[in-house]
């Protein structure tokens, strides 16, 4: 009976059995094409266009990579990078703490939601960099100004997602907890927090990218230090290879940070779906 069932499954799913019979080099090549094919094609097109068009603002990818290696070989670039990442870490951590707290309060309390929702949404759509002159007037050219810009870029999306995740919990779940006599804190811990976690972590993922932008914008337009200062200097000297090199580096950093949050999301919300 078991052997018959196995043969039926093999006949029903020939694609799966065929994949098992493929040699391992073919399987590896297939995985590379599926996962990295578009990126490899983009790099090839970039290189060809860079050599063919010879535009000053579009250097070949090979020149960009060489420039990135040259930057890392310099004495100051790594220090600039670590300085920028430290400002990002502090701003993002502060945004997470404040965003989760305020978002949770807005989600649990209708009064808090009514009092803060209009201001949070207004600040969400307002360019955070517009507050840079005010921050500069208050804190001057200090690390607090850079951290504040990163914080403003990332906090409001966390507040909105956290609040929405709590306010959209199925009411029957809350009614069931109340019917069993669950205390408010037990309801929050066992029903509200697990149900709100997926959308809350989605807010953290969005906040990571916004905080990276805040880090660069704050350094470019306020302090002219860190990676943003390097980008500003390269732009003024028309060194587009350096601008593209730092842009690629920032993309890689954003991708890595996003992957970290994605791993956390899969770990804590693996039960979803």
Same domain, 16 and 71: no
Residues of the chain with confidence (pLDDT) below 70: 1-21, 35, 223-224, 270-273
Same domain, 8 and 131: no
Summary count for the chain: helices (H), strands (E): 13, 0
pLDDT number for residue 92:
95
Same domain, 9 and 85: no
Q: Does residue 85 lie in a domain region?
A: yes
pLDDT number for residue 265:
78
CATH number for the domain that contains residue 89: 1.10.3720.10
Same domain, 257 and 144: yes
Q: Does residue 133 lie in a domain region?
A: yes
Q: Does residue 184 lie in a domain region?
A: yes
pLDDT number for residue 249:
92
Same domain, 70 and 50: no
Same domain, 31 and 79: no
Same domain, 37 and 88: no
Same domain, 96 and 219: yes
Phi, then psi, of 8 in degrees rounded to 5: -65, -40
Domain total for the chain?
A: 2
* 200 closest CA partner among 229, 228, 164, 236: 164
CA distances from 211 to 145, 163, 217, 218, 258 (A): 14, 20, 10, 10, 12
Q: What is the DSSP letter of 141?
A: S
* 62 closest CA partner among 73, 72, 50, 53: 50
pTM, two decimal places: 0.80
Structure tokens at 20: 């098992």
Q: Does residue 60 lie in a domain region?
A: no
Q: Does residue 59 lie in a domain region?
A: no
pLDDT number for residue 14:
47
Contact 180, 215 (CB under 8 A): no
Same domain, 137 and 163: yes
pLDDT number for residue 11:
47
Q: Does residue 176 lie in a domain region?
A: yes
Same domain, 17 and 123: no
Q: Does residue 126 lie in a domain region?
A: yes
Same domain, 70 and 180: yes
Question: How many residues would you count in the chain?
Answer: 273
Domain that holds residue 9: 2-54
Q: Does residue 81 lie in a domain region?
A: yes
pLDDT digits (tens, 9 = 90+) for 90-115: 999 999 999 999 999 999 889 999 99
Q: Give the residue ranges of DSSP H helices in 126-170.
A: 132-139, 143-167
Total Cβ atoms within 10 A of residue 5: 9
Same domain, 73 and 185: yes
Distance CA 93, CA 90 (A): 5
pLDDT number for residue 204:
92
């Amino acid at each position: 009976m078991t052997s018959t069932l196995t043969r039926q499954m093999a006949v029903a799913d020939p694609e799966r059995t065929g994949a098992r019979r493929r040699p391992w080099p073919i399987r590896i090549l297939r995985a590379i094409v599926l996962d990295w094919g578009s990126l490899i094609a983009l790099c090839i097109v970039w290189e060809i266009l860079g050599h063919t068009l010879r535009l000053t603002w579009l250097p070949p990818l090979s020149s960009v990579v060489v420039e990135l290696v040259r930057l890392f070989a310099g004495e100051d670039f790594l220090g600039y990078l670590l300085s920028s990442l430290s400002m990002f870490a502090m701003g993002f951590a502060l945004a997470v703490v404040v965003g989760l707290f305020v978002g949770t309060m807005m989600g649990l309390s209708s009064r808090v939601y009514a009092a803060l929702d209009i201001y949070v949404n207004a600040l969400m759509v307002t360019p955070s960099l517009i507050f840079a002159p005010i921050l500069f007037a208050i804190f001057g050219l200090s690390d607090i100004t850079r951290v504040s810009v990163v914080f403003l870029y990332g906090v409001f999306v966390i507040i909105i997602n956290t609040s929405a995740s709590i306010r959209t919990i199925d009411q029957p779940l809350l009614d069931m907890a109340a019917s069993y006599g669950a205390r408010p804190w037990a309801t929050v811990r066992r029903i509200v927090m697990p149900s709100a976690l997926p959308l809350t972590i989605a807010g953290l993922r969005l906040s990571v990218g916004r905080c990276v932008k805040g880090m660069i914008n704050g350094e470019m337009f306020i302090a002219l230090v860190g990676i943003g200062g390097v980008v500003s200097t390269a732009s003024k000297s028309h060194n587009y290879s350096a601008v593209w090199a730092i842009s690629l580096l920032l993309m890689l950093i954003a991708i890595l940070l996003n992957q970290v949050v994605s791993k956390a999301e899969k770990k804590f919300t693996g039960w979803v779906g």
